[in-house]
Structure 1
Amino acid sequence: MEKYEALWAYQVEDMKADAIALAIKRSPTRQKLEKARDFILDRQKQYKQIEEDIGAMVDRKDIIAQAIVRSKEQLDNLQKRFEAAPPTTSDEVKSLLAEVSRCRDTIRQYEVEISRIVKETDANEKLQRSVRLDAANAKKSFDQLKADYEEESKSKKEDLENQRAKAKEVMDQVDPALLEEYETIKKHISPPVARLIHGQCSGCNTSLPSAILSKIKGGTLVECETCGRMIIP
């Protein structure tokens, strides 16, 4: 039974260390620090997306500008054709005017789209500046919070290191096989070891059948079928 007592003693010290680590993790300053970090990452992502959007708009603007040039060239060619060989029938006149009208409509549509792109680009550039400023201000806040957290947690981290060292001393007395089982179960539930109290698993208060009770009292290692903890006398 001594090996189980060593395991229990180790769990006591290990849980104390985990409690200190959890207190450090749940520090309000740390939570603010993590929130500031997430805000900065979000703004960086937003900034990159806006940058990509602006790039796509600039590319589209260039394509439209080239299309306008071609449409104007087509319109000039129509005028030259008219001057070189004026239409002689009403149908020829109508056909030429229809081509001219289509070219002008196309140019107007392109110009409207370019105007829209320019406005959206200006709005995105304004938003980009705002996002960059938000990120810069958040970075200042993050740096201050980080300094505050490091100062605040310094003594707690020392306490944690001392407690981990104390737990390590006790751990060295634990049977390696039991320790391996302990660490495996701890990944799923903590604490991983429970006492047998009044015929029940103290971890989940499940009553155990007499056959299992006999095994535990006889020194056999048993895992609770309900919570998965190791049960020791």
Structure 2
Amino acid sequence: MAEEKKSRLFALKPIIERWPAVSKPEGHVNFRTKILWTLLCLILYYILTNITIYGLQKQYIDLFANYRFIMAGASGSIMHLGIGPIVTASIILQLFTGAKIIKLDLTKKEDKAIYQGSQKILVIVMIIVEAIPQIFGYLQPSDAFVASVGGWASTIIVIQLVIGALIVFFMDELISKWGIGSGISLFIAAGVSQAIFTGLFNWLPVGGGVLSLSNPPAGCIPGTFYIATNANLGELVGGYYQMMFIGNSSFQNAIVPL
């Protein structure tokens, strides 16, 4: 019987064997250790979502700002890309393997190791592919930042996006080996929870600055309370009832949409 031809991905084996990775635990990991690593990664995730990209102009374009939490991202932060590159790389490899374009038998230990290693390399590629287009018309550097670093401004923004996505990638691997469940699922749940919490309880003004009826608290509960207690009957009938329940461009976390 002729020897089965191996996939060309085996050419990446020397790279995969030297690729940095989170070491597997030797033996059983107790529940307390799993909880500890999971909580540490979760806290780090929340911290990173609140670190704004250095040098980014205040007014930037993000077409998916309201949906970025679904991919565990945070608009304008170093977690801007979220788990997007990880998910994209996984889907591409699954499609190619399922369609037999990539000939790997995942029931074999060696083939599975090549598959997982190739996925890690593809994640890095997708991080770069998704980070670079962000600086073309979307995440633009501020004028002051451009004046201080010159032509490197956009490159520095891309580097920050890459670093943020790499941290997510390694935290996902860390949780999968040392924590509880899947890091991807955890970060999605964390992103959705954060969006719901801030959408409900954020007391900061929508547009920054001083609170006013045209610039109420961004959260649904404090915003509704502020409008209801500060608008007179004529103002409520004149449009603020609609603003509380349906919302508008300046107050999106209204009761019905939320």
TM-score band by shorter chain is under 0.3
| TM-score scaled by length of structure 1 | 0.21
Q: TM-score, normalised by structure 2?
A: 0.20
User: Which structure has greater strand proportion?
Assistant: 1
Structure of greater Rg: 1
Higher fraction of helix = 1
Q: For CA contacts below 8 A with separation 6 or more, give which structure has more relative contact order.
A: 1
